[in-house]
Chains A and B, each alone.
Chain A
Amino acid sequence: MYEFEFEKPSTIADAVKALGEEDAQALGGGQTLIPTLKQRLAMPSTLVSLSGIAEMRGVCPDGDAIAIGGATTHAEVEAATADSYPALSALAGQIGDPAVRNRGTIGGSLANNDPSACYPAAALASGATIVTNAREIAADDYFQGLFTTALDEGEIITNVRMPVPQAAHYEKFVQPASRFALVGVFVARFADGVRVAVTGASEEGVFRWSEAEAALAGNFDPAAIDGLSVDAEGMIGDLHGTKAYRAHLVGVITKRAVAAAA
């Protein structure tokens, strides 16, 4: 990696200030950023670690939702939501390996918005609110394409508020090498409807499959998906699967997610 300065503030305000410096970069768990730095694909002037900010860690109930600090690790989310939001807990428990889960954070994952990451599916399907140091952003407005979000320069995800659905499940079909999602589908049934978020599949990153949501709203059953399909155009095509294969998997994996959630 190239040389950089390192800061580990203990308050959000100090972190925001540090990130105001030119080319400063926030560091969550570093599970994407550190490999990127090691490959010299990024050259930040300062890394601002968010892991020392106590108010950004931990999970607590928040009415019908749960609030998760942006610097909470996957392992902490897995443990803390096992009873309150089992589908989210299971998702967190399937990310990477134990080393990744004990470093990587939910805020880091959502800020990075890797098109194959798991958390964006959970946030979008849950209708989460992304809370930053400056504002609150609805998940529907937050994800804006491949590695692109509504976050402004220097803006920090301090908290993620996830409404807890009546029923939910995340089904992940893994890419054989990386074990990221080749296709991952999070379905969440709420009193007022069903949300289906798909990760891994689209060139535009995580997306809601609205046709499936409409069909499932009337009949929360795998059979409701029969006959529905996503357009292969716009799907990712690579070494691990063609566009057509991913489009096919979106249907299969959605059905499985519904079956497991129902």
Chain B
Amino acid sequence: MPKDSGIGASPKRREDVRFLTGTGNYTDDINLNGQAYVHFLRSDVAHGRLVSVDTSDAAAMPGVVRIFTGADFEGVGGLPCGWQVTDRFGEVMQEPAHPVLAQGKVRHVGDPIAAVVADTPEQARDAAEAIAVEMEELPAVINMKEAVKDGATKVHDDLTSNLCYDWGFVEENREAVDKAIQDAAHVTTLELVNNRLVANPMEPRVAVGDFNRATGESTLYTTSQNPHVIRLLMGAFVLGIPEHKLRVVAPDVGGGFGSKIFHYAEEAFCTFAAKALNRAVKWTSSRSEAFMSDAHGRDHVTKIELALDADNNFTALRTETYANMGAYLSTFAPSVPTWLHGTLMAGNYKTPLIYVNVKAVFTNTVAVDAYRGAGRPEATYQLERVIDKAARELGVDPIALRRQNFITEFPYATPVAVEYDTGDYVATMDKLEEIADLSGFAARRAASEAKGKLRGLGVNCYIEACGIAPSNLVGQLGARAGLYESATVRVNATGGIVVMTGSHSHGQGHETSFPQVIADMIGIPEDMVEIEHGDTANTPMGMGTYGSRSLAVGGSAMVRATEKIIAKAKKIAAHILEASDADIELKDGQFTVAGTDKSLAWGDVTLAAYVPHNYPLEDIEPGLEETAFYDPANFTYPSGAYACEVEVDPDTGKVTIESFAAADDFGNIVNPMIVDGQVHGGIGQGIGQALLEGCVYDEDGQLLSASFMDYAMPRADDLPFYKVDHSCQTPCTHNPLGVKGCGEAGAIGTPPAVVNAVVDALQSAGKDVTHIDMPLSPARVWAAMNG
């Protein structure tokens, strides 16, 4: 029986009432008294030297408050990078300056040259058009392999080349992997592109800067997944404002998918300008601006080789990737193709030798950073594609080849530095075969063929490392931050609870699922618990929400704080009941002396904490409020197996998804409905990447897919009804909830399933097609078929 409350129940999302009735409070809903508006004049060329920026005519236009250029930010810090990668020669990466407004050069279409602050948005835009920019246009650096050749035009004149780093992992394995591949009975090689994506959350970015002259405090309202991180990065590295004079508020946020993790120039500008002008300054991105200023995702060009012995056991894996950084290093960009990618290359398989080489490259394009899955989709895609190709080359069943090489004993230390605590890949594959009705595929293929369509089946597995991350470990890997999470649990006098968490919900449903955990621990109704997040002024220092970490890390902090609450409450109850606290039991919101009928209600104890008339004041303080910081001992390792069936129209190349099944192991589940929704959304984005989405620059660095007219987002009728199952549960061993995280799984596991299915469909018709690069648009599939 499904539970009707607490952990394992599926109450409807309480936040949806305000989201769906237009009563949310998004950043753009915030309007401050007397606020001015900023319009950014952005570069329309990809690469150029700024000869002059003449703002004199523009400054005289109606409503203009002030025009800022790069010169106004000399002496102000640039946007910092939060992760320093060390290359395979022991050298630290090349790290270029990233000014708030362009200084000397523009490096991508959309790079901000000047910022006009005016009384109205229209006046700001009018004046921006009157700024005279003299520019010496330079050749655009777009193709990564060309960019790293000797003599290539440099994106950053003060760096030695366009190579950010050349990373090897595990470098000590390099020669052994080379030898194993040389000696292998069979080697399958695949070259592929992991297509550049634009996150496109429903809500574009917004920033409102404010300054209080009386207190000297700055406030930034912003569309962020991690307001504390923004406060730290912007305060300490860009503007030099200490945390106690800087408040960052991220209210309701309409989706992020990673793109709202990072600290952006517009945030720093609005905060800086508000202080300079003593007036609130607001910026609201248009969708067009979002395409050329939000960090993009993916954009890897990869060659992968899988070596097998004569019995089809995987013996070695070698992969070489060119990873596009774009023009500047976004906040966590260097970590994505390295530690979030290389460490996942073992996948679900016991490949003994793995070597990963990544060359990160600067180009005249928008910065690339984490996007739903961040490195793990890139790892999964290449691994699961090359395994599929190997199975086809060897004439063996792709599922059987995977099963043969599954890791089956846990904990398992991979050759790429991580240790999986739990998992059961056989169980998820068994479950997948059942829910996807794989035994019925042949009949479905015949039915499709009867109507002139080619049907294909694609199956793959995935593993991800979530719940980032142990702070001491990531520190060794180059992170310039800790990755714990925090929670303050405040119990009010009449028993209601407010939890202030450093996690940040921007669609994940924390306001519903987090109370389920606390209500379960205490035995009170969920509606007695509220979640507060997103305001650095009233939440403890937290690291925010990304990497499927909120329940595993933020939830664990909440559990630890609640445990402290319960321990203290038991002491209070023991005092009132005149018993030993060791004998007090808490169940269903009642404190009972074990073995007696003496009991106290939750509300009696919480009231006593704040009206401490009969209270052990000599032992404990009044009040009932506790804070905990939780730093995980390891990553969590969700895993799963996905199956996709497609039909391909041989006349047009059009692919339709006929069915999609996902069997995931997320460990314990708090709210199955929310987990379903997270998986649905992830699969939708995965299908988007596989079939539709592609961010394309031309050779001059112009963004061709600069609007929804050319960048194809998945729509409801592009997607099937999904079969999702998360009954296979191997709980995480090192966090108190046994949870693993589910937010990114769909986006990680889906693209290879779709591409495997399309290749299967084409091969079923005798087409000699072994790979097609995403997105698998009708034109590309048709071209591959008619190669």
A contact set with B: CB distance below 8 Å:
39-40, 173, 176-178, 182, 239-242, 245, 248-249, 252
Contact = CB atoms under 8 A, between A and B. Distances in A.
Nearest to A2: B126
B779 A177 contact: no
Contact of A245 (B129, B694, B711, B783): B783
B696 A242 contact: no
B673 interface: no
Contacts of B779: 240-242, 245
Contacts of B709: 177-178
Contacts of B710: 177-178, 239-240
Interface in B119-169: 125, 129
B652 A249 contact: yes
A176 B777 contact: yes
A39 B707 CA distance: 12
Interface of B: 125, 129, 288, 651-654, 691-692, 694, 696, 704-705, 708-713, 777-779, 782-783
Which of B129, B288, B653, B777 gathers most chain A CB within 10 Å? Answer: B777
Nearest to A246: B779
Contacts of A39: 288
A177 B712 contact: yes
Nearest to B786: A248
Nearest to A1: B122
Contacts of A173: 652, 654, 778
A39 B709 CA distance: 14
Contacts of A242: 779, 783
Contacts of B704: 239
Contacts of B777: 176, 240-241
A239 B694 CA distance: 9
Nearest to B694: A239
Given A176-B692, A242-B779, A252 B708 contact: no
A3 to B, nearest CB: 8
B711 A177 contact: yes
A136 B629 CA distance: 78
Contacts of B125: 40
Nearest to A3: B122
20 contacts: A39-B288, A173-B652, A173-B778, A176-B692, A177-B692, A177-B709, A177-B711, A177-B712, A177-B713, A239-B704, A239-B710, A240-B710, A240-B777, A240-B779, A241-B777, A241-B779, A245-B779, A245-B782, A249-B652, A252-B652
A176 B782 contact: no
Contact of A239 (B288, B651, B696, B708): B696
Contacts of B712: 176-177
A76 B711 CA distance: 30
Contact of A178 (B129, B651, B708, B783): B708
A241 B709 CA distance: 14
A173 B654 CA distance: 9
Contacts of B653: 245
B786 to A, nearest CB: 8
Contacts, number: 45
Contacts of B694: 239
B705 A241 contact: no
Contacts of A252: 651-652
A182 B709 CA distance: 12
A40 B777 CA distance: 32
Q: Is the interface of B mostly helix, strand, loop or mixed?
A: loop
A214 B160 CA distance: 65
A248 B696 contact: no
Nearest to A173: B652
A178 B777 CA distance: 13
A245 B708 CA distance: 22
A248 B778 CA distance: 12
A221 B708 CA distance: 37
A252 B785 CA distance: 15
Nearest to B651: A252
Contacts of A177: 692, 705, 708-713
A252 B653 CA distance: 11
Contacts of B696: 239
Contacts of B692: 176-177
A175 B651 CA distance: 16
A114 B712 CA distance: 20
Contacts of A40: 125, 129
A173 B779 CA distance: 11
Nearest to B718: A176
A54 B779 CA distance: 44
Contacts of B782: 245, 248
Nearest 3 CB-CB pairings of A with B: A177-B712, A241-B779, A176-B712
B778 A176 contact: yes
A249 B711 CA distance: 21
A252 B651 CA distance: 7
A173 B704 CA distance: 21
A239 B705 contact: yes
A70 B744 CA distance: 49
A95 B761 CA distance: 31
Contacts of A240: 710, 777, 779
Contacts of A245: 653, 778-779, 782-783
Contacts of A249: 652
Contacts of B705: 177, 239
Nearest to B649: A252
Given A176-B778, A177-B692, A245-B778, 18 more contacts: A39-B288, A40-B125, A40-B129, A173-B654, A176-B692, A176-B777, A178-B708, A178-B710, A239-B694, A239-B696, A239-B705, A239-B710, A240-B710, A242-B783, A245-B779, A245-B783, A252-B651, A252-B652
A97 B528 CA distance: 43
A61 to B, nearest CB: 34
A249 B783 CA distance: 12
A245 B782 CA distance: 8
Contacts of B288: 39
B693 to A, nearest CB: 9
Contacts of A176: 691-692, 712, 777-778
A182 B780 CA distance: 14
A153 to B, nearest CB: 27
A40 B128 CA distance: 12
A236 to B, nearest CB: 12
Nearest to A38: B286
A16 B777 CA distance: 45
Contacts of B778: 173, 176, 182, 241, 245
A242 to B, nearest CB: 7
A67 to B, nearest CB: 32
A152 to B, nearest CB: 29
B697 to A, nearest CB: 11
A118 to B, nearest CB: 16
Contacts of A241: 777-779
Contacts of B711: 177
A178 B707 CA distance: 9
Nearest to B696: A239
A173 B652 CA distance: 9
A252 B705 CA distance: 27
A176 B712 CA distance: 6
A28 to B, nearest CB: 19
A182 B777 CA distance: 12
Nearest to A39: B288
A141 B705 CA distance: 34
Contacts of A248: 782
Nearest to B708: A177
A245 B125 CA distance: 41
A176 B694 CA distance: 11
B787 to A, nearest CB: 12
B754 to A, nearest CB: 14
A177 B692 CA distance: 8
Contacts of B691: 176
A240 B704 CA distance: 11
A234 to B, nearest CB: 18
A241 B777 CA distance: 9
**Most chain A CB atoms below 10 A, which of B651, B692, B708, B783:** B651
